[in-house]
Amino acid sequence: MSSPPKTLHFAVFPLPAQGHMVPMIDIARILAHHGCTITIITTPVNANRFNSVIERAIEHKLDIRVVELELRLADVGLPEGCESLDMLSSADPWFKLLGAIDMLEEPAEQVLRGLSPAPDCIISDNFIPWTTDVARRLNIPRLVFHGPGCFSILCMHIATSTNMFDGIESDSQPFVLPGLPHRIEVTKLQAFGNSKPNTAKPRDPDTSEAKTYIERVREGEKAAYGILVNSFKELEPEYAQELAKAKDKKVWCIGPVSLFNKSDLDIAERGNKATINEHDCLKWLEGREPGSVVYVCLGTLTHTSTEQIIELGSGLEMTGVPFVWCIRNKTEELAKWFSESGFVERVGDQGLIIYGWAPQVLILSHRAIGGFLTHCGWNSTLEAICSGVPMVTWPHFADQFYNEKFIVQVLKIGVRIGVEIPVVMGGQDTIETLVKKEEVKVAIECLMNGGDEGEERRKRARELAETAKRAMNDGGSSILNMTSMIQDITEQLAVNE
């Protein structure tokens, strides 16, 4: 008589950044829904951000626990409570927080050794490389999770693992990335996702520490058993296949994981707590014609300057298009402009302004939304795809320029606003990156109107939304991939016994 199948126990290590943590919490819940035991290792502030979602999952008999570990923030020069990348000021280098996360290796291993049942597999964000060593010492496999999709991961792999930019002085000359199914051109700046990499001083601590960390990330990924990607096979089939070849690893596309959220509460509380009541937001949208509203949000890690916000607001006003505008931080300088310029009075009921965190999935999925002006973060990109909403693309840094090329050139569901030069991650807009109000107006009008070409974009966006839903339904490609991954890990453990 055969023994019953083993219940796998996954230890999940999300990176404390909203764009990485939100999908990993969804992945944890999906795995628990498949009958797995889940332990999420994070910090108190981050645990608080998703505790209500986890509590509801536990109420539905999902086997999930959360272990909170304290970060030694003072040791790296960060204030207490600064536990997520979106909480860093523009003056705080991102590697400081990663340094504090590094110090969690020993306490995290102690936690894992004390768990019962013992963990069978670690799922770790790619940017937590020390989990490689913990997995090795525990003799269990490690899967890595990347924030972006297969297209962008593959593009970054090609840009960083080849010598195509060696000896190239020009930051603005476009080059074709070799070995891709589509002709994709990038500049040196866009390829590395940060402004002016060749101007950094060799002994600049920001530069040297960052390079060392990235090298550790690469080595950690090489040792990983496989890669989990928040995407679906039908969205980027050639790129999923090419990524597996390039990395020489198994790649499982298991998304879009946002579609696992069915209740309005889970959707509204996905990530941080919204600063607007979702009912008030939906009530405002209910009064609009279908497809008439543009949603505007530039992400959680973008430090938009007051000058840029003014240009963006002025461009929105010039269009006359109804808009929902999420502004991350309302500074005194910005508040003064809003009060003295008469902007709020002039736009009146044309616009709804949200300060802080918005219930983005609820907004995008509303029938009134006809377009999304986005920074091209992968979560936002997928959420727009799932809602069948075409995009105005406004990338800032990291993988966002690759995501823009995927949206505009591969999927053909976007309109570029025209940004060519990245900003430093966590830094503010510069003269070189400032988008003028006229450019905002032209891009939004092209997206929302656009004639036959615009209708083709909307049609493709709607078709992709249906495909995404099928991927996450029973028997869909992503559900089958998740089942395949669980089976694979089970077999791998049997081999190691």
Gap between the Cα atoms of 375 and 326, Å rounded: 12
Least confident range from 1-5, 48-52, 387-391: namely 1-5
Between the ranges 271-275, 446-450, 455-459, where is the mean pLDDT highest?
455-459
pLDDT level of residue 188 (50, 70, 90 thresholds): confident
Q: So what's the pLDDT on residue 299?
A: 86
Q: Is the pLDDT at 91 greater than 70, yes or no? A: no
The whole-number pLDDT of residue 197 equals: 43
pLDDT of residue 3: 45
Residue 428: pLDDT band by 50, 70, 90 thresholds?
Answer: low
pTM: predicted TM-score of the whole model, two decimal places: 0.92
CA distance 84 to 418: 30
Q: What percent of the chain shows pLDDT beyond 70?
A: 90
Distance CA(49)–CA(356), nearest Å, equals 14
pLDDT higher than 90, residue 90 = no
Residue 478 has pLDDT above 90, yes or no: yes
Q: Which pLDDT value is given to residue 95?
A: 80
In the chain, the domains with their CATH numbers are 9-260+473-496 (3.40.50.2000), 273-469 (3.40.50.2000)
Residue with tokens 């039908």: 234
Q: Using 50, 70 and 90 to split pLDDT, how confident is the model at 279?
A: confident
Tens digit of pLDDT for each residue in 154-180? 999 998 887 777 777 778 888 899 989
pLDDT of residue 425: 64
Query: Torsion angle, CA of 191/193/197/202, rounded to 10 degrees?
Result: -110
Q: Is the pLDDT of residue 304 over 70?
A: yes
CB contact at 8 A, 173 and 187: yes
Q: What is the pLDDT of residue 493?
A: 86
pLDDT score recorded for residue 271: 55
Residue 241 has pLDDT above 90, yes or no: yes
Residue percentage of the chain with pLDDT more than 90: 65
What number is the average pLDDT over the span 134-145?
97
Phi (first) and psi of residue 211, to 5 degrees: -65, -40
Query: Residue 267: pLDDT above 70?
Result: no
Distance of CA 200 to the CA centre of its chain: 27
> What mean pLDDT is reported for the chain?
88
Higher pLDDT, 204 or 105: 105
Q: List alpha helices for 120-229, DSSP H.
A: 131-138, 150-161, 188-192, 205-223
Task: Determine the average pLDDT of the residues in 78-88.
Answer: 87
CA dist 439 and 318 (Å) reads 11
pLDDT band at residue 96 using 50, 70 and 90 as cut-offs: confident
User: CA–CA separation, 18 vs 84, rounded Å?
Assistant: 8
What share of residues in the chain are helix, strand, coil (percent, to 5)?
Answer: 50, 15, 35
Q: Are 21 and 134 in contact, with CB atoms under 8 Å apart?
A: no
